[in-house]
Structures are given as C-alpha cells and as structure tokens.
Structure 1
Amino acid sequence: MLQYTVYADLNCPFCYALHEQLHEFGLLPQVDWRLVEHAPDIAIYNKTAENQAELASDVFVVRSRVPHIDVALPQRRSDSHFANLCVIQAAEHDLEKSIKLRHLLYRALWIDGLDIADVPVIYDCLIAAGLPAEVTIEEAQENLLAQWQKSWEDGNFNLRIPVICSSDGRTSLGLPSPDDLKAFFKGEEISTLEIRGEVKTKPLQQTIAIYCDHNIENIWPLIASLRNDYNILLPSNLSELKQLLHKDHPALLMLSTENQWDSMFSLCRDVTSNQDELSIPVAFINQENDDQRELEAYNAGASDFMYLTRPAAVLQSRIQILMQMKQSQDKLARSARIDGLTQVNNRREFDRSIDAEWRRAQRSKRNLVLLMLDVDHFKSFNDQYGHLAGDGCLRTIAQAIKKTVKRAEDSVYRYGGEEFAVILPESTLEGAKILAEKVRANIEALQIKHLNAGDKKIVTVSIGIASCKPSEDICPNDLIEQTDRALYKAKELGRNRVILNT
C-alpha cells in the first residue's frame, strides 16, 4: 500500500481542512503527519492588524473552497510549539490516541476558537484523547520536531502549507478539492497549487468586512458572536479595504474607530455614494452611546450605528436585518439587470458594465476585449420554426456561451435580439480568439436543426472581436464599433467563423 507523508501546521486553516477531510475519508492511518510551523515567530506578531487580516482571509478562502468543513475565525493564531511536542510525545506511546489528540487540537483552535498554547486547553484535549494529563517533553521530541521543520523548509515545496508526499514520488501542494484528494490517494496525479472544484453541501455564508483602526480586541466579543454565521474579513489598512470591497463584494461593511471619525465618515460617504459599483451597506460600531456621532454617521450614509454596550443578541439581530435587506436589494438589482428570456445580463447591464470596465482598465492601464456574437440566419429560423422555437434556441445558445466563458471577471450579455456580447477585462486578442472559437464550436456542437442555414443545416454563430487600451482619446463606443465591424466581416465572409479587428 502506498504511504503518505504530510507536512502541516496546527496554525493553518488549510491544514486543518485537509486533516478534517482525511479523517472523514478514513485515510489518516495511511499518513505520517509531520507537524511544522509555517511561522515559528507567530507569538511575536500574531496580534498585528496585518496578521489578523491574513488570518481572516485564509479562513474565508477555506470556507469558500470546502464549505462542508466547519471552520470559525479564531481571535489569533496560537504558538503551537508545545502542542506539537505533546502530539509527538503521545505518538511514542499510542499512535491512535495521538491522532485523536491532533484532531482535538485542530478543532479547539479552528472550531472553538481556543488558544492551543494555553496549558488548560492542551490538558482538556489530552484527557479527551484518553492520554495522561502530565506530559514530559525530552530532547528527543524537540530534535524530531526540528528535523521535520528542516525537511519541510529544505523540500521543493516553496514553503507551501499543507504538503502531501506519496511514496511513489507524487506531491500535492496546497489544499486539494475532496475529489482531487481521493484521486491522489488512489495513486493519480492531480493539479497542485489551485483547487479544481468545490463541494457545496451547504450555502456559502454571507461576508462581513470589519475595518478597525484601533486594537481589535476591543470589538472581538462582537466578532466572536458573528464568526459562526458569517464570513469575516479584517482588512489591515484602507488600501486593503478598498481592494477587498471590489474583489470580495462583502454584504456589509462595519467600521470601528476611536479617534479618526472624520476619516471614517469620509470612507462611508465614498462607499455609499458609489452604489452602482459597490452597493454595500455600512454600519458603525462604537463603544458607548454618542448621539452626535450617530447623527453624523447617518448623514454620511450609514445604515446603522451600534453600541457595544447593548446585549450581543440585540446587535446580532440588527446585523441580521441589515443582511436580509442586502439580500432583498441584491434580488431586485439582479432582476433589473438580467434578461428575462435568456437569463444572462441584459443590454442595460451591458451599458453599465462597459463603462465601469472601461474606467477600471484606464486606471490599471490594461487591455479591454469585447466579443460580439450574432446567430446566423435567425430570422429564417423564426419564420420556419416559429417564435417559441426561436426563444428556446436563444436560451440554449445563451447558456452555452455562459458555460464556455468561465473566468469570474468575464461576463455575458444579451445585446439585443439574436445578438450577444462578452466583456473580457485584462485579456488578450490571442486568448479571446481561443475562447471565441470554443464558443463557436460549442454552439455548433448543439446541433440545433435549421434547414435554411446553408450546408450544415444547423444553427451557428458569427463572432467579432476587438481589443483596445482605454484612454482619454477614445470611448467605449469606439470599442463597440470596432467589434461590430469585425462581426459584420465574419458575416460577409460566410458566417460561422471568428474574425479579429486588428
């Protein structure tokens, strides 16, 4: 039987998620689980805003990748050195109980939010694992831990956590998907570094971004009351916050300050005045009742102003109301931007998106690529088969386009009638052509019968592509016109083809 070595950190939520999955699949007995420390000096800097932001981001990623694994945001990572030594010492006496101890330590940190550097926490885990409560650490255990650390640091792993090495030479870096993990333990090669799929056995949780410009321990009781029900993100500075708002689209932004009220009110105004792009409600958190600050917050566009002196249940209820309002607003916004027939974005949303992506491309000085697709001979299809069949044809084609266009930043639109558009931010003409050819081929492969459509007797599409680097000298309409000319040329040259406007 193949044997496996895992290098993993008790302080890492990705390692915890891997351990949970191997436990669920009954694979832990096949594993030599070697505990290492991703950041041995964690005790020095684990209270910094940057480290807390990184921790919250890691938990957020784990939850989105493997949502069937329960994981809660702890207040901070622990100094895991002594806990590691306890697991090593336990393994010398009873391997099965040492595995249980490791399992309990992971859960103490990543579910209960306890500090596994605390002796009482380790004591409770030892007792629960059926091990003696008194632990004597000797030089042999210290040497073994140091040996594991050196093997991981010297290995060709790019200091990735976690790492799985098989006895036949295969390596998995990072957190595999459940399917990839099972495949790896069956002897298959899998993709490393990136997860290939997600198992969504429960709905993804809504996300709350909390920006605190002072010691976060002052508001930690509130965060602790929310962390099981919501994803929590803790940006460490304003620049990181602004990136997070555009990238992760939290459902709520909560702001806490002690002395920088003017800056926080200004930030609130920026967010709430930009609802077309962000649409994020803002709530303030304050230690005590302050009518003047509360009034200023509402004048800046805040949706709520909360006092930490109120009972936790009251604060949770108010946050829940804000989240429900956000969900309702999102549903209304979605109905306004989705084409009722094809269930892709409508023309109104295209006009809004092309302007927004144009401005974003101007700021980043990156290319913006546009595809326009037209269903060939669609009028004759409607004439021959009827409008109900025509509607069904458009729905099928729209979903085929949507399934082919997979990048999260790319978006599909019904531009009008039988014409569709795809916006590809930060892409290249070469990449866009490959994608367009896939779209064209996938629609052709649908084999939708159309006897008046030329030699093939099936429904096909023609596609035009154009690219530009937005500047003040041109506007989005210039890009649309270039793409339209390429589409017209594709029609002129015989249809069912892709043409670039170069």
Structure 2
Amino acid sequence: MNEKSSTLPLPAPLLEDTLPLSASLVEGPSFSRLLVVDDQPINIQALYQIFHGDHEVFMATNGQQALEFCQQDPPDLILLDVMMPNMDGLEVCRRLKAHPLTREVPVIFVTAQESPDEETHALEAGAVDFITKPVNPAVVRARVRTHLTLKRQADLLRSLAFVDGLTGVANRRRFDDSLQREWRRSRRNGASLALLLMDVDHFKQFNDCYGHLVGDSCLQTVAGALKANMGRSHDLAARYGGEEFACLLPETHLAGALAKAEELRQAVQALNIPHALSSIATVVTISIGVTAVVPMMNLSPDQLLSAADEQLYKAKRSGRNRVCGVDIHHS
C-alpha cells in the first residue's frame, strides 16, 4: 500500500472526521479515542472489532497520515505497527515523542516481529508496550486498559498544574493551552470560537478599603460565580491575571457570547459583595469584552485576544459594569 492511501472502508470514523466536541470530552474508564496504525486492512479490522464497542477507533494506513492526525487532535492511545512502507513504526514513534503535543500519548506496538531486539528498539523509541501478532483479544484489551488508566492518572496529576491556586478555576497556562487547542479544532470544523475577557471593576480601591485578605475572598467568590454559570462542560473559565478573568466558549457565535457575558455580569452583581469605593455601584461589578471568530489561516489566537482586550477597554471607558463585543470578521 503506498503512502498516498488514506482511510479504509471500515465502519469506524475516518481521519478526516472529527469527534463531536461533547463526545471528545466524555470522561470515564470506558471511553477513549484510539488510533490504529497499520498498512494492512485486515490487521486494522481485527483491532477495530476488539475495541469499537468501548472506544472511538480511528485508523491510519501509513506513518505520515498518523502523524498528521495526531497533530490535529491527539488520541488517548496509539496501536502502532512496526513494519510499514516509507516510514516505519519506530520512526513514527520517535516523532510522536519528540513533539510536545503528542509526547504523553502512550504507544503500544502491535507487530509480527518477535525478536528481543525488536522489542528493545520499540521501547527505546518511546513505546510503553509491545504485543505480537496474532493478538489475543483478552490480552490486548487488558494492556490497553492498563495504559489508559495510567494515562488518566498522569493527566490528572498534570492537570493540578493548570489550576489557579487562589480561585480554583483554570490558570493562565491552562487557558493558553486551551485557546491553542480550541483554535485548531474550530478552524478544522469551521466553527465559531468566542472569548470573554473581564475585569473586576475598581479592584485596587476594593483592596485599599477592605484589605488583601478580603480581596482574595472576593476573587474566589467571583471566580466561583463565573465557573458555576459556564453552562457547558467544554466552556472554560480561567483566571487570566490579577483581577482579570477569561472565558473560552467553543462553537459560540457573537450573539450567544454576548448573552453569556451579560448573564455573567448579572451573576457577579447579584453576589452583592459590598464595594464602598466603587464609583458605579455599591457592590462588586465586572466589565466584559467579548469577541468571536471562525478561525482561518490568515488569523491567529493573538488577534482574538487583542480584539477582546479592546472591547474590555471600551467597556471600561464607557462606564464599566457593562458588556461590549465585536465579531472580528465584521470589525
């Protein structure tokens, strides 16, 4: 099979397809996204039959195709053949482990090669396991289950580094990573991506009046209200820095983002946190800048951030405690 071959006529998702956003965020031990890479259709079919009932199974018939798929949306685990034309599995594995986006994805070699040297080469390339063909369904299921469990545990530990220590919402690092990931996904799907940047109004005066401990408590309460009102599991509320927060809303057009921003503004005001030094209200309020865009090749995530920041500045300049927004395509 030559390098130009793409997907196989099997009842599994094609590489050109993308998992629905809601499905891609399903959690739990029984649901994962597996990528099977083999140049022989019969081998892919065998693994598909083993896993398709419990997992979302994708397929690639050559190394380059596998690498391209993984750069778009990394799977949870890869089952990889060693002997393939043009680029063998060992080289594919090395490239996966060299890239930060796919470095943590476990790779299991499934191959007809049985020599100890081949197994050593596979492990040195970065694989977590080595299974010989023909596979025993019970054995390969057990090993995949074990490595998926280990990956979830590692992911959980890593996720602790993405939580803001004060407020408990996502931190700036998590937000930046999510923005890059959702930008790629939205560009691939032709979906609108919305961003909200918000600032607690006159927060310096709040700290001056009530002290930093009460100021910290205020930020915690505001963050809790933002997170509680996100609505969808794939929406993200994050602390962007100081008293500034950000919300990322995938698959959301400007009208929906403006509505969500107004909902958040009202939710924070309804907390009724006293603010004696505010010039606009007797309680803590927020100003919000909103923007939305369907990502294209001539745009970047930085432009989305810049547009949202401009709208936040506009909201502050217009009197604070309000929402201002723009669609980048129409700005």
How high is the TM-score relative to the length of structure 1? 0.51
Q: Which residue of 1 aligns with 2:163?
A: 338
Task: Confirm whether residue 214 of structure 1 aligns to residue 174 of structure 2.
Answer: no
Aligned partner (choices 104, 109, 132) of residue 279 of structure 1? 104
Task: Confirm whether residue 438 of structure 1 aligns to residue 263 of structure 2.
Answer: yes
Counterpart of 2:197 in 1: which secondary structure? strand
5+ residue gaps, structure 1, are: 1-47, 55-59, 65-197
Kept in 2: contact 1:49–1:236 (CA 8 A): no
Kept in 2: contact 1:286–1:308 (CA 8 A): yes
Q: Which residue of 2 aligns with 1:326?
A: 151
Q: Which residue of 2 aligns with 1:233?
A: 56
Kept in 1: contact 2:50–2:137 (CA 8 A): no
Counterpart of 2:258 in 1: which secondary structure? helix
**Code of the aligned partner of 1:215:** I
**Distance change (3 Å), C-alpha of 1:417 and 1:382:** same
Shift of 1:362: 5.2
- What does 1:28-427 correspond to in 2, within 5 Å? 50-51=10-11, 53=12, 204-205=29-30, 207=32, 209=34, 211=36, 213-216=40-43, 223=50, 231-237=54-60, 250-256=75-81, 262=87, 264-265=89-90, 267-276=92-101, 279-287=104-112, 289-291=114-116, 293-298=118-123, 300-308=125-133, 318-319=143-144, 321-361=146-186, 367-427=192-252
**Code of the aligned partner of 1:465:** V
The CA deviation string for residues 8-61 of structure 1, in whole angstroms up to 9 with x for no partner, is: xxxxxxxxxxxxxxxxxxxxxxxxxxxxxxxxxxxxxxxx9623x27xxxxx99
For 2:231 and 2:70, locate their aligned partners in 1 and report how far apart those are by CA, in whole Å: 22
For 1:319 and 1:362, locate their aligned partners in 2 and report how far apart those are by CA, in whole Å: 31
**Distance change (3 Å), C-alpha of 1:355 and 1:453:** same
Kept in 1: contact 2:289–2:313 (CA 8 A): yes
Shift of 1:350: 2.8
Larger Rg: 1
Counterpart of 1:50 in 2: which secondary structure? coil
Q: Which residue of 2 aligns with 1:141?
A: none
Shift of 1:316: 6.2
**Code of the aligned partner of 2:314:** K
**Code of the aligned partner of 1:351:** D
Kept in 2: contact 1:208–1:250 (CA 8 A): yes
Aligned partner (choices 272, 290, 296) of residue 465 of structure 1? 290
**Distance change (3 Å), C-alpha of 1:306 and 1:298:** same
Kept in 2: contact 1:235–1:241 (CA 8 A): no
For 1:250 and 1:362, locate their aligned partners in 2 and report how far apart those are by CA, in whole Å: 18
Counterpart of 2:122 in 1: which secondary structure? helix
Kept in 1: contact 2:235–2:247 (CA 8 A): yes
**Code of the aligned partner of 2:221:** T
Higher relative CO (Cα under 8 Å, sequence separation at least 6) belongs to 2
5+ residue gaps, structure 2, are: 1-7, 14-18
Percent same amino acid at aligned positions? 35
How high is the TM-score relative to the length of structure 2? 0.73
Count how many residue pairs are aligned between Structure 1 and Structure 2: 306
